[in-house]
Amino acid sequence: MTTQEPYTLDLAGRGFIQGLTFADEATGAPIAHRFGGLPYAQPLAGRPRWRRARPLDDAFVYGTRERPGSFAGQCTVCPQPSFDGSSVTHGCEENEDCLQVNVWVPAGAEPGDGWPVFVYIHGGFLQMGDANGLNPLHLYAETDCKFVLVEPAYRLNVLGFLASKELQEEAKTDGDETVGNLGFWDQRLALEWTRDNIELFGGDPDNITVGGYSAGSHSTFYQLQYDLFQPDENSLIRRAIMWSNGPGVQPKSMREAQAQFDWLLKAADIPPTISSESKLARLRAMDPATLILASTSTPLHEYRATTDGAFVRPDLFAAIDDGRFAARMRRRGVSLLTGECRDERFLYGTYRPAKEDSLPALLDRLDADYGPRAVDALRRFYFPEGRLPDSMEDWRSDAFGKVYSAMQIYATERGFIAGLVRGGVALGAAEEEGSRVTEKARDEDVVDSISDAEFDVVAGWGGEEFGGAVHGVSGEEEREEGAEQEQRGVEDVETEHHPNEHGDDDVDHVDAQIPLMLDENRHRIGKQSEGNPRRKGPGSSSSPGAALAPPRPHSRLFRYRIDFRSSVVHDNPTWGVFHGSDMTLWFLGMTATLPPGEKALAREALVEPLGRYLRGEDPGWGVSGRDAREMRRVTSEGTVDIWRDGRWEEGVGLWEELRRAGVAAGEGSGSGVARGGPKL
């Protein structure tokens, strides 16, 4: 139990703010300070809907010493549909002008360089959700996993991801540089606010981790891809965490976005023949609730990213496949922690499922997210004979849940990992056993030894925005090197098939046995770690496909799998280890109190490694570093082991099918016309 009292912080040139201090009720010891609803951008009010947000003015202050800004609440919530899309949510403060952050700070003196910073992006399919969901108090009070937590709100659904030629024409006239992807641009602005201001809260601006769950994980991927292709002086991400989601496919083209816009006009009863200015004026005159209900009533009701050439590169997924994405990660020394729950499909199967129990209805539903080209690839991969497989119970929910979760998580996560490994990203720890040198200190030494130009020549990176030629390396040479990396990459890994483990059995929570299991884990993981090849110097690598010679920062990949369901998770008891249920482990119960044995399991398996990861230390993952399929797993029995991925072939196979269809290779997910726009 905690108590709360006001807390005032001096932000120097940004003025004074008042938040809350949370203290232990029994001892009175302060645990954390929280500031809720801090603006990170200029107000959207007064500007037309669907415009890029602007950063705060340099002269902006939150409050004065005499009248500090009051930030004891939480972030405003972007207007949004209900889970099934049939209504608009109510009961919380909703406003399009929602560009705010919550900031949690551990109580007490910060380390010499400041606290590590974790920017957590909330999930919700990019259609719903809010930034008020996390509670790190158990972490701060009971572990050394301490960091400044920043939770940004951003625009969602049709408010955050609408794009069209009408908006493009207006943007050109008004001098705005881009349209679409507003939610991603909002997130980026929050990241830049964090870099520029977090030192005032005791955070280290040079040690920022970006992560998220579900759509927040998906967003993390897009923030990472944007950051990696920025000049060094604009880069700010040190490492990433992708909890239960993947990169998806190359976002829709502007042509597809236009089909979605045209459906919106039809649902809003706006004539398609009127001028562009009139169309936009009528849409902007609609209140958020009416607009959102119209948007969810169309066949293309999922509003996601657009390949705009500004935030999302047209060759993004080609860059993953040919090694350029990995080369950028290695150049910057960016690491990735990524993984999944065992039973993700159950929640996904309930999210706006197919309207009928048939294959055509299933394909129509998937088209709302991925476009016709991707849907055709999914049909060929999962339903080549056009019938329901024996492993699926029905089309409407079971088949949909399994295919949807594969696209959102299992398959695209594995295709992405395969591309990183082909490009030379190291697997697991990069230090010799027992070393406590942080990656930050190590990388600074390495970066000092190699110039940007030298790295670009060695890595085969052209450097212009879409693969041009600088430093004497052409785009063609860059692609040739990527192809060579692909040939010598994960194809060298054994392809023995291991049965998939997807049990729905109830998890037995034998509290007294878990400490004994933990002792066994320590022995097992220690044995597995003995003799592991560790990187002896910055030029060596234990991962397949990493053959570049000069020294470079270490970029590392850590995979996990959660098969354990905590006893404090009471929702959906038949769903097993479903999407989101593992957050009670990562955050040591969140607002609930874990039983002692489960708390010990969470600390050893996830929390303590997470803390080391955020600090830039070796998390002690326990994998050999030789096989991309190795995942640190929390088993259903409450043990920790290293699991050899049973879904690797399916995931990489679907990624390849999507690439053959032109979906994951930078050609866009489909035409957006053949199965898209309404008949006029």
Q: Are 215 and 327 part of one and the same domain?
A: no
Query: What are the b/e assignments for 405-427, b being 16+ CB within 10 Å?
Result: bbbbbbbbbbbbbbbbbbbbbbb
pLDDT score at 456: 41
Confidence of residue 548 (pLDDT cuts 50, 70, 90): very low
User: Which position has the token pair 């991927």?
Assistant: 221
**How many residues are given for the chain?**
680
Residue 488 lies in a domain: yes
State the total domains in the chain.
2
Question: What's the token pair of residue 80?
Answer: 């949004």
Q: Measured between alpha carbons, how far is residue 606 from residues 331, 459, 464, 588 in Å?
A: 28, 34, 40, 9
Q: Which of 77-91, 173-187, 231-245 has the lowest mean pLDDT?
A: 77-91
Q: Is the dihedral of CA 382, 161, 276, 286 positive or negative?
A: positive
Q: Is the dihedral of CA 291, 294, 296, 299 positive or negative?
A: negative
pLDDT > 60? residue 622: yes
- Percentage of the chain lying above the pLDDT 70 cut: 79
Q: Do residues 348 and 404 make contact, with C-beta atoms less than 8 angstroms apart?
A: yes
Q: Do residues 64 and 15 make contact, with C-beta atoms less than 8 angstroms apart?
A: yes
Catalytic residue among 164, 214, 541, 669: 214
Which has the closest alpha carbon to 645: 409, 398, 349? 409
276 as an active site residue: the answer is: no
Q: Are 155 and 282 part of one and the same domain?
A: yes
Q: Are 654 and 535 part of one and the same domain?
A: yes
Q: Are 297 and 318 part of one and the same domain?
A: no
Residue 227 lies in a domain: yes
Residue 11 lies in a domain: no
Residue 679 lies in a domain: no
Q: Are 372 and 399 part of one and the same domain?
A: yes
Predicted structure pTM score: 0.84
pLDDT > 90? residue 51: yes
pLDDT > 90? residue 403: yes
CATH of the domain at 212: 3.40.50.1820
Confidence of residue 173 (pLDDT cuts 50, 70, 90): confident
Give the pLDDT mean for 27-32.
Answer: 97
Q: Give the structural domain span for 475.
A: 311-493+511-673
pLDDT > 60? residue 289: yes
Which has the closest alpha carbon to 250: 326, 187, 306, 310? 306
Q: How far apart are CA 272 and CA 260, in angstroms?
A: 13
Give the pLDDT mean for 263-287.
Answer: 98
Residue 516 lies in a domain: yes
Q: Are 562 and 655 part of one and the same domain?
A: yes
Q: Which of 20-34, 153-167, 406-420, 529-543 has the lowest mean pLDDT?
A: 529-543
Which has the closest alpha carbon to 313: 324, 301, 302? 324
Q: Are 537 and 432 part of one and the same domain?
A: yes
Q: Are 353 and 333 part of one and the same domain?
A: yes
For the chain, the average pLDDT equals 84
Q: Do residues 278 and 334 make contact, with C-beta atoms less than 8 angstroms apart?
A: no
pLDDT > 80? residue 459: no
pLDDT > 50? residue 511: no
Boundary residue ending a domain (269, 287, 303): 303
Give the pLDDT mean for 5-33.
Answer: 98
Residue 282 lies in a domain: yes
Q: Are 123 and 239 part of one and the same domain?
A: yes
Boundary residue ending a domain (235, 270, 303): 303
The enclosing H or E element of 276 equals: helix 276-285
R_g of the chain, CA atoms, integer Å = 24
Q: Are 376 and 293 part of one and the same domain?
A: no
Confidence of residue 680 (pLDDT cuts 50, 70, 90): low
Give the pLDDT mean for 94-120.
Answer: 96
pLDDT > 90? residue 522: no
- Percentage of the chain lying above the pLDDT 90 cut: 74
pLDDT digit string, tens, across residues 425-436: 999 865 433 333
pLDDT score at 177: 75
Residue 371 lies in a domain: yes
Q: Measured between alpha carbons, how far is residue 477 from residues 208, 263, 373 in Å?
A: 33, 43, 29
Give the pLDDT mean for 363-387.
Answer: 96
Q: Collect all residues with Cβ–Cβ distance below 8 Å to 451 and sequence separation of at least 6.
A: none
Q: Are 221 and 320 part of one and the same domain?
A: no
pLDDT > 80? residue 107: yes
Boundary residue ending a domain (282, 303, 324): 303
Q: Are 275 and 358 part of one and the same domain?
A: no
pLDDT digit string, tens, across residues 657-670: 999 998 754 444 54
Residue 389 lies in a domain: yes
Give the pLDDT mean for 282-290.
Answer: 97
